[in-house]
Amino acid sequence: MLGTALALAAALTAQAQSTYPAPDSVRGPVPPAVLLKVGLRATHVSYSGSGQAWSLVVPLSLGAEYRLAPRFGFYGQLEADLQTSRTATAARRRSPQAVAVPSAALGVGLRYYYNQPRRGEPLRNANLYGSYLALEGNLERNAVVGRFVTQSRRQTAAGLTPGLYAYWGTQHRLRRALLYDVSAGLGLQAPTYYNFESIAPAHYNLAAQVNLRLYWSHGFYAR
């Protein structure tokens, strides 16, 4: 009798587990529906200095990602290299500190997290992100050294370069709110437009990028 009761209890338990979905603690964590990120593009940090002058570039990075499905995410990011510098005069007095934006970039793209489970499958571990393939379109703005003469005045030119890149990357959590995102890829850059005018001859160029970004992040979960 005891053996029959135990067998019946085991059968009922197995049926209940197959009928009702497992709780989140069993299925594992779910990626946030929206992920906001603020941080630095560490590969663009630079410093140069001497006894007469110094210059520091701090590359800020803002990003947002919307998870369309467990394996697909749509994202956008805005990045700017902020340059601060100071120069000593002949009288050993220092000139006012200058801050400029030598370059900035705006990008939008689609990521495919190929090592994530499909909808309804349990996560293999507590990693919410993982490795991905991405296709990104972006627009880079770079200030041009020197001044150019127009019909009315002299002005500093700015170059706008559209591009399309394919990336392999990996994004992981360091701590509760800290992420790192490493990516490398190849792309095609369109001709640069200087102050919205193309300079002939115009050429399409192949380009490569390697990026390391460190983020503070905050996720919003679907109800």
pLDDT digits (tens, 9 = 90+) for 21-61: 444 443 456 678 899 999 999 998 988 887 788 889 999 99
With residues binned 3-state (H G I as helix, E B as strand, rest as coil), the percentages for the chain, rounded to 5, are 10, 55, 30
Q: Do β-strands 193-194 and 197-198 pair in parallel, antiparallel, or remain unpaired? A: antiparallel
Who's near 51: CB < 8 A, 6+ residues apart?
88
Does a cis peptide bond (omega within 30 degrees of 0) precede residue 96?
Answer: no
Q: For 156-197, write each residue's pLDDT tens digit.
A: 667 899 999 999 999 998 888 899 999 999 999 999 888 666
CA distance 160 to 105: 9
Whole-model pTM: value is 0.75
Its CATH architecture, for the domain 32-220, is Beta Barrel (2.40)
Q: Which of 64, 81, 53, 73 is nearest to 215 (CA)?
A: 64
Q: Around Cβ 58, how many Cβ atoms within 10 Å?
A: 16
